[in-house]
Homo-oligomer: A and B are copies of this chain.
Amino acid sequence: MHELGVVYRNIVRANREAADRLGDFGSATVHEAMGRLGLLKPYMRPIYAGAQVSGTAVTVLLHPGDNWMLHVAAEQIRDGDIVVAAITADCTDGYFGDLLATSFKARGARALIIDAGVRDVKMLTEMSFPVWSKAISSKGTIKATVGSVNVPVVCAGALITPGDVIVADDDGVVCVPASRAAEMAEAAAAREANEGAKRAKLAAGVLGLDMYGMREPLARAGLRYVD
């Protein structure tokens, strides 16, 4: 947060297998597994529906209206990374378009998470390069001021440390600390394990009230029925 003008080249990335596995569960399940922490604010929306990705965070801290550091960040990308871009003040400018996407993709990036705007969304969609952003805007940016790469950043209200696992889909974006990636993948798997059985019961008309045994605690909490 408190450091400008620095690029950290060596970061500790989360275990690749755990990172990939977390992506299969999706953001809602992972967020639950995390004890309902780590979620970016829901104003972060995908530029097209249907993308579901996970990867390790390369972070970048940018100034409003200035995308210079995205070029610096490109060099730090390794295969399987997701770039997470934070801005030092609120901004909706279009920091990122098809040229940078081409570069990021060539370097191995799977997605961009940016607390600002993006443009060329039609081409990004055709390229299948997903972006979660606060805005879509044609407004271009300058290249005048240095920020930082791979420092901890606050993006859309969540603290992201370089190397953390990012899980993003139509429901939103979640950050899992690198040190807890494997444990969280286990927890998410446990959550999902019996969802199929539950879904079948509910589809057959069984009520959650009965399946989860809620009638008694609801009555104890004072719920009453009136005919």
Contacts and interface: CB of A to CB of B under 8 A. Distances in A.
B9 A227 contact: yes
B103 A1 contact: no
Given A5-B224, A226-B7, A28 B120 contact: yes
A133 B103 CA distance: 33
Nearest to A124: B170
Interface in A194-227: 195, 198-199, 202-205, 207-209, 212, 214, 218, 221-227
A93 interface: yes
A28 B140 contact: yes
B8 A226 contact: yes
Contact of A138 (B4, B106, B172, B198): B172
Interface string A169-190: 1111010010010000000000
Copies in the complex: 6
B170 A207 contact: no
A139 B38 CA distance: 10
Interface in A151-167: 152, 154, 157-159
Contact of A106 (B154, B169, B174, B203): B203
